[in-house]
């Protein structure tokens, strides 16, 4: 069974996190540990009709973002990877500088130090030089940066098609087989 940590921060795009959590929940081979920042919870209210309770139920385990004693804050707790989506630029900067003042940042720091798979889905535009430097620094450390940039070769018909395609890319990066979206056939 794969163990995946999902961190949801206060950037816009909470629907991407919901879709990923739904897909992970549908896979009996995956155990999900989720952390939501306070602003992620606020964006959930602003951007969707989902309640926090309903979204939290998509994870096997949830943690408070201030709980630095949670098991995902330790490198001795084995996980297969972590995804932060959407990733605010504040979170990206904190991780790039090793500033672990909350559980999302600490879990990312642990993922890096243990040389495990870390995926960041930045949700900001335009990107400043500071944002790009922080993302570049993380990419040089082995973090996979997967921004939610839509592909159109699969001829999406709905917003959900665009979201599914991005979720497929994240699942692929985690090594989780899926057929969530149409793939390029040449």
Residue 28: Cβ-neighbour burial (10 angstroms; 0-12, 13-18, 19+): exposed
Of the chain, the end-to-end C-alpha distance in Å amounts to 33
> What is the average pLDDT value for the chain, to the nearest integer?
96
Q: Where are the domains of the chain?
A: 2-173
Question: Which of 90, 109, 65 is CA-nearest to residue 11?
Answer: 90
Tell me the CATH number of domain 2-173, given options 3.90.180.10, 3.40.50.1950, 3.40.50.720, 1.10.645.10. 3.40.50.1950
Name the packing angle between helices 89-97 and 129-140 (round to 10°). Answer: 50
Which residues have a Cβ under 8 Å from the Cβ of 69 and sit 6 or more positions away?
Answer: none
Q: How confident is the model over 114-137, as pLDDT tens digits?
A: 999 999 999 999 999 999 999 999
pLDDT category of residue 156 using cuts at 50, 70 and 90: very high
Q: How confident is the model over 8-56, as pLDDT tens digits?
A: 999 999 999 999 999 999 999 999 999 999 999 999 999 999 999 999 9
Q: Which helix (H) or strand (E) holds 98?
A: none
């Amino acid at each position: 069974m794969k163990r995946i940590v999902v961190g949801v921060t206060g950037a816009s795009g909470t629907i991407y996190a919901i879709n990923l959590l739904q897909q992970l929940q549908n896979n009996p081979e995956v155990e999900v540990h989720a952390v939501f920042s306070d602003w992620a919870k606020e964006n959930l209210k602003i951007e969707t009709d989902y309640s926090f309770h309903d979204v939290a139920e998509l994870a096997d385990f949830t943690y408070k973002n201030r709980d630095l004693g949670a098991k995902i804050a330790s490198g001795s707790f084995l996980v297969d990877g972590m995804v932060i989506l959407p990733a605010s630029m504040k979170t990206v900067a904190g991780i790039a500088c090793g500033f672990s003042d909350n559980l999302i940042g600490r879990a990312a720091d642990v993922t890096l130090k243990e040389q495990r798979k870390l995926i960041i889905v930045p949700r900001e535009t335009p990107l400043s030089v500071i944002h790009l430097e922080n993302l570049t620094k993380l990419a040089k450390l082995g973090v996979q940066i997967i921004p939610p940039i839509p592909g159109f070769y699969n001829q999406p018909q709905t917003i959900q098609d665009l979201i599914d395609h991005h979720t497929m890319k994240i699942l692929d990066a985690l090594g989780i087989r899926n057929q969530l979206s149409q793939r390029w056939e040449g």
